[in-house]
Amino acid sequence: MEFKHVSVLFSESIKNLNIKPDGVYVDGTLGGGGHASGICEKLNSKGILIGIDRDKDALRAAEENLRGYDCKKIFVQSNYSNIKNVLMEYDISSIDGALLDLGVSSFQLDNEERGFSYMKDASLDMRMNAEDSLTAETVVNTYSEEELANIIRQYGEERWASRISQFIVKNRKQAPITTTGQLVTIIKAAIPASARRDGPHPAKRTFQAIRIEVNDELGQLEKAVDTFLDVLANRGRLCIITFHSLEDRIVKERFNQRLNPCTCPKEFPMCVCGKKTDMKKVSGKPIIPSEQELTLNPRARSAKLRVIEKWER
């Protein structure tokens, strides 16, 4: 399958990385190399791009798509949260910038076999790394009703979570739920018709929740933000694009924690813990797509870009 991907907030990301021609940059969610092409374009033959992805197909496609650029390119199949190990493996002590474009790629959504889309009937898979053991089918058919409800409520922010999990458990008693089409039908039956008339597709939130659980997306993100900030060189920047409030909240909180590391009680008149920030905020409010981008790529609607810079005095 051809790897097509419209890179969200492309020019804004590349601009905010503030790329040095001979620097070291990481694209931790490489995909087909869309954002990475913008990085490579600004690097000279001494510059290094490290592209990380969990998906072998993505790495192969990116390697092909980035072949024409002069910079040194390193492709790694891993989770971006393992950045310290990746850098250690290549004897790189720090990086000048990194980009994380979170969520599922257009390639994975459009590839029916992967089971990410509620618009196409396919096997219930949803693994970003096809070698991982946990699949959406396992989650749907083996998690308890309470576990399913908690996941759908927490990760999908779905108000009908209890009813959906109840319907899933009831249906799987008759026969295992093995396809996305079956799951969509169950979700539609669980949500009252009046609640389905407006808003997004009724299965959107539940599919998001199961995908997040299968790939431990929020756990990996929470672990990764500080790790990336630790490995930034002075004046290095981290750009993170999120697609829903749960991701954005984690990024915002982790950035704020590093910007304001003081642990003194609020009633103290002055700081005595001595903890000083080594970061500087680049974007105050998150950067969002322009109307022009939204016209070309409606999937970008919920995207937010946050940028922070290492600033050691």
> What CATH number should be reported for the domain holding residue 19?
3.40.50.150
pLDDT digits (tens, 9 = 90+) for 157-175: 999 999 999 999 999 999 9
SS3 191: coil
> Residue 4: inside a domain, yes or no?
no
d(CA 142, CA 271): 50
Rounded to whole angstroms, what are the CA distances from 181 to 138, 202, 203, 215? 16, 13, 10, 21
Domain end residue (candidates: 178, 196, 215)? 215
Residues 274 and 226 reside in one and the same domain: yes
Residues 222 and 157 reside in one and the same domain: no
Domain end residue (candidates: 193, 215, 237)? 215
Tell me phi and psi for residue 49, to 5 degrees. -110, 125
Residues 31 and 66 reside in one and the same domain: yes
The pTM score is 0.92
pLDDT of res. 106: 66
d(CA 190, CA 184): 10
Residues 297 and 164 reside in one and the same domain: no
Q: Which two tokens stand for residue 41?
A: 């374009």
pLDDT digits (tens, 9 = 90+) for 114-128: 899 999 899 999 999
SS3 46: coil
Task: Give residue 88's Cα distance to chain centre.
Answer: 23
Residue 186 has pLDDT above 90, yes or no: yes
Q: Which two tokens stand for residue 198?
A: 């407006």
User: Do 164 and 147 meet the contact criterion of CB atoms below 8 Å apart?
Assistant: no
> Residue 141: inside a domain, yes or no?
yes
Q: List the domain range (segments joined by +) for residue 206.
A: 112-215
Residue 1 has pLDDT above 50, yes or no: no
pLDDT of res. 103: 72
CB atoms within 10 A of CB 75: 18
Q: Indicate the number of domains in the chain.
A: 2
Mean pLDDT of all residues in 223-239? 97
Residues 265 and 139 reside in one and the same domain: no
Mean pLDDT of all residues in 122-137? 95
pLDDT digits (tens, 9 = 90+) for 22-65: 999 999 999 999 999 999 999 999 999 999 999 998 999 999 99
pLDDT of res. 145: 98
> What CATH number should be reported for the domain holding residue 199?
1.10.150.170
> Residue 106: inside a domain, yes or no?
no
> Residue 190: inside a domain, yes or no?
yes
User: Do 187 and 128 meet the contact criterion of CB atoms below 8 Å apart?
Assistant: no
> Residue 70: inside a domain, yes or no?
yes
Domain end residue (candidates: 215, 230, 246)? 215
Look-up of token digits 């409520």: 153
pLDDT of res. 83: 98
Mean pLDDT of all residues in 126-144? 96
Q: Residue 28's closest CA among 3, 51, 1, 62? A: 51
d(CA 9, CA 86): 26
Residue 2 has pLDDT above 70, yes or no: no
Residues 234 and 298 reside in one and the same domain: yes
pLDDT of res. 107: 66
Rounded to whole angstroms, what are the CA distances from 232 to 33, 101, 208, 236? 21, 18, 31, 5
Residues 230 and 193 reside in one and the same domain: no
Tell me phi and psi for residue 275, to 5 degrees. -80, 120
> Residue 3: inside a domain, yes or no?
no
From its phi and psi, is residue 134 left (phi > 0), alpha (psi between -120 and 50) or beta?
beta
> Residue 36: inside a domain, yes or no?
yes
- Calculate what percentage of the chain has a pLDDT beyond 90: 81
The chain-wide mean pLDDT, for the chain, equals 93
Residues 96 and 227 reside in one and the same domain: yes
Residues 242 and 204 reside in one and the same domain: no
Rounded to whole angstroms, what are the CA distances from 266 to 135, 257, 262, 294? 45, 15, 10, 42
Residue 236 has pLDDT above 70, yes or no: yes
DSSP 117: -
> Residue 271: inside a domain, yes or no?
yes
